[in-house]
Structure 1
Amino acid sequence: MLGLFDMMFMLGSLAVSLTVLVPLVGTLVRFRAHYNPKGLQLDSEGDVQPHTGPVISSYIGMLRRVHRIEGWPGLYKGLMPTLLSTLLITVFLMMFLSESNLRSGKYSAPDGGAVGVLFYSIFAMLVSLPQVIITNRAITTPHKLPYFNAIYSLRILLTPTERRRPWILYLTPGLLATQVAHIAYVIIFLRSIRQLLLPELANPGMPRTEEISPAKLVIFFVIALLSTVILAPLEVIAIRLSIQRNHAAPEFNSISQEEDGDAEEATEYAGADEDVIGLRTDREPYIGMVDCAKRIVDEEGWRALYRAWWLTTLGSLSGAFS
């Protein structure tokens, strides 16, 4: 068992991490979820209509916009679901892992080969999927959610259909396929390439410089960099699909509300006369991963699939040493 000092240190580190990461992750989710169609569109009668919503072209621009419109509370949207899930994981680690492992940070997925790690990662994704959906919706909703009223918040974030049948979250069109594709690419392809080129990195501790071939290291970094072409769109699509709400009636989409009391009397941010981001408001939801990619390209341009691509690249490169 951990001592009191170790527990306090762990909780303090957790608090600092959430303080820094929640605004950064929230900005990333909003930036990738923002619907920014091309300048001219056709209305239902075929007439050309200019786009009148906000245009945000950078991650930093989104961060500043959130702070300007919603202030610090807006930057910490999604704090409570993130905090609760992190606390559950922390308690699990404290209960079932040894003190030496916790102190040295040696916890990782079970080493059962690529297939074993793949199934473990998919299982972990399935367990956390509802939390990811709720967190992303909490971040992107224009409504102000209380920190300590989960029932009220869930009424805002989930449709009546989803509250009656919560398992329908797993049937969100294309979301599971997108998540599995992302996991499979990272584990089966990138992990196998790393094992082939840099097997020394799989050993405990940092390898000596002379053990690593500079040429193979450069090759792996180039492959990880090029992987951004595939991984960044998958991450954007996953966020778009996670905020797409499931309704009993097919004519409703991710933004529309069902008629039976969904999101009634929701509180807006004081003084906010405009939404931070634009959300796709037509009644034609994405019907799958490929459909989502095609519609994003058709409606917003291919650059929308590569928002904050540099963060994806950093994640891929850091995988060389994980």
Structure 2
Amino acid sequence: MVSFYDFLLFIPSLAISLAIIVPLTGVLVRFRANYNPKGLQLDAEGGAEPHTGPVIHSYFGMMLRVYRIEGWPGLYKGLMPTLLSSAVITVFILFFLDAPPRHGAYKAPTAGIIGTLAYSVGMMLISLPTAIITYRSITTPHKLAYFNIVQSIRILLTPTERARPWILYLTPGLLAAEVIHIAIVVLVLGPLHRFLLPSLGTPNVSIEDISFLKLSLYIVVVVLCAAFLTPLEVIATRLAIQRNHASPEFNSVSQEVDGDTEETMEFAGVEEDVIGLRSEGDPYLGLVDCAQRIIAEEGYVALYRAWWLTLLGGILSAFA
């Protein structure tokens, strides 16, 4: 049974984690969401004009741009939805799964491959709406109040999404990208980790107990998986910030011509957008369409933005 003392100890750990993770995650989301077409675009009169949006080539370049334009408040955009979602998931884990987190982390229960897959998909479904809201709060050019939840929701969600919240799950391609990502981690990385490195992550393991041949093989597997996981993460980011609008046929992709947009206030004192966003009038139609358009419009490199973070996470998982 989870004690009140355990719960109190977790609060400062969560606060420290958010203070570090929120800015790093915000920069990552903006870097991957930034729309930077490589070719010419057509203006209102059909003439060709070069893309005038921000061009950022690195993760740390994006970090400096965010700080230069919006300062510390910009780096902490997305704090409140991250805090709320972390609190809800933590309470769910503590009181319904009866498993207190240790050292600020929670590990999925050992229940075999199928059980772990089902658990991971279930947790993804629970957290998906808050993840969408978090990504949009990070990428929006509008200033969001920390404690005015109603106003923030009106800015981040369309009237269609507010009237039918379940439409967030129907965002074209998003669920597919998330499920494929989970499947690669659970069905490929998980079993190979247990097969090649069963002793890593357990106490009292000395350097002599580690097979460097197996460790090298696992790192090769991580590199190969990162080649698939990174594009999925970029695609999921693009799809999550793509807002759903209504149409007479109730197609979540088609855009409503009238009545599905609202006037909102831009970030105070900012004369330029931190990132460029793709027009909502020409949305991605799904996972494959998103990948094809990113390649055609921005090049393969755009699918591998911050690939080293995905790779680093996979390598560190070997010691988890």
Q: Distance in 1 between matches of 2:232 and 2:49?
A: 30
- The aligned runs of 1:89-108 (5 Å cut-off) are 89-95=89-95, 102-103=101-102, 107-108=106-107
1:4-52: per-residue Cα shift (whole Å, max 9, x none)? 5x55442222212111111110010000000001043345766432111
Shift in alpha-carbon separation, 1:115–1:295, aligned structure 2, 3 A:
same
1:29-78: per-residue Cα shift (whole Å, max 9, x none)? 00000000104334576643211111111111111111111121111111
- Partner of 1:49 in structure 2? 49
Query: Matched residue pairs, number?
Result: 318
- The aligned runs of 1:116-135 (5 Å cut-off) are 116-135=115-134
- Partner of 1:318 in structure 2? 316
Query: Could you tell me how far 1:307 is from its partner in structure 2?
Result: 0.6
Q: Distance in 2 between matches of 1:93 and 1:181?
A: 24
- Partner of 2:242 in structure 1? 244
Is the CA contact 1:253–1:285 (under 8 Å) kept in the aligned structure 2? no
- The aligned runs of 1:65-214 (5 Å cut-off) are 65-95=65-95, 102-103=101-102, 107-201=106-200, 204-205=202-203, 207-214=205-212
Q: Distance in 2 between matches of 1:156 and 1:282?
A: 15
Shift in alpha-carbon separation, 1:231–1:104, aligned structure 2, 3 A:
closer
Is the CA contact 1:65–1:276 (under 8 Å) kept in the aligned structure 2? yes
In the alignment, which of 281, 284, 288 is matched to residue 282 of structure 2?
Answer: 284
* SS of alignment partner, residue 227 of structure 1: helix
- What RMSD over aligned residues (CA atoms) do the two structures have, in Å? 2.6
Shift in alpha-carbon separation, 1:110–1:281, aligned structure 2, 3 A:
same
In the alignment, which of 299, 305, 308 is matched to residue 306 of structure 2?
Answer: 308
Q: When the two structures are superposed, what TM-score results if normalisation uses the length of structure 1? A: 0.90
1:181-216: per-residue Cα shift (whole Å, max 9, x none)? 0000111011122222223337x4353333321101
Q: Distance in 1 between matches of 2:237 and 2:66?
A: 18
Q: Distance in 2 between matches of 1:44 and 1:252?
A: 27
* SS of alignment partner, residue 200 of structure 2: helix
- Partner of 2:294 in structure 1? 296
* SS of alignment partner, residue 201 of structure 1: coil
Shift in alpha-carbon separation, 1:177–1:147, aligned structure 2, 3 A:
same
Q: Distance in 1 between matches of 2:175 and 2:279?
A: 23
- Partner of 1:37 in structure 2? 37
Is the CA contact 2:158–2:243 (under 8 Å) kept in the aligned structure 1? yes
Is the CA contact 1:244–1:253 (under 8 Å) kept in the aligned structure 2? no
Shift in alpha-carbon separation, 1:43–1:206, aligned structure 2, 3 A:
farther
Is the CA contact 2:13–2:104 (under 8 Å) kept in the aligned structure 1? no
What runs of 5+ residues in structure 2 fail to find an aligned partner?
A: none
Q: Distance in 2 between matches of 1:110 and 1:300?
A: 40
* SS of alignment partner, residue 41 of structure 2: strand
1:50-109: per-residue Cα shift (whole Å, max 9, x none)? 11111111111111111111121111111111011112233344445769x545668421
1:247-291: per-residue Cα shift (whole Å, max 9, x none)? 11389998x886326332x22222211111000126221111111
Matched, 1:217 2:215: yes
Q: Distance in 2 between matches of 1:29 and 1:181?
A: 19
Shift in alpha-carbon separation, 1:244–1:195, aligned structure 2, 3 A:
same
| Aligned-partner residue type, residue 145 of structure 2 | P
Shift in alpha-carbon separation, 1:261–1:303, aligned structure 2, 3 A:
closer
1:220-253: per-residue Cα shift (whole Å, max 9, x none)? 0121122221111000000000011111138999
Q: Distance in 1 between matches of 2:169 and 2:130?
A: 11
- Partner of 2:58 in structure 1? 58
| Aligned-partner residue type, residue 220 of structure 1 | Y
Q: Distance in 2 between matches of 1:105 and 1:72?
A: 24
Q: Distance in 1 between matches of 2:11 and 2:150?
A: 26
Q: Distance in 2 between matches of 1:253 and 1:31?
A: 26
- Partner of 1:267 in structure 2? 265
Is the CA contact 1:159–1:258 (under 8 Å) kept in the aligned structure 2? no
Is the CA contact 1:2–1:94 (under 8 Å) kept in the aligned structure 2? no
1:131-166: per-residue Cα shift (whole Å, max 9, x none)? 100000000000001111111111101111101100
Q: Distance in 1 between matches of 2:59 and 2:46?
A: 34
What runs of 5+ residues in structure 1 fail to find an aligned partner?
A: none
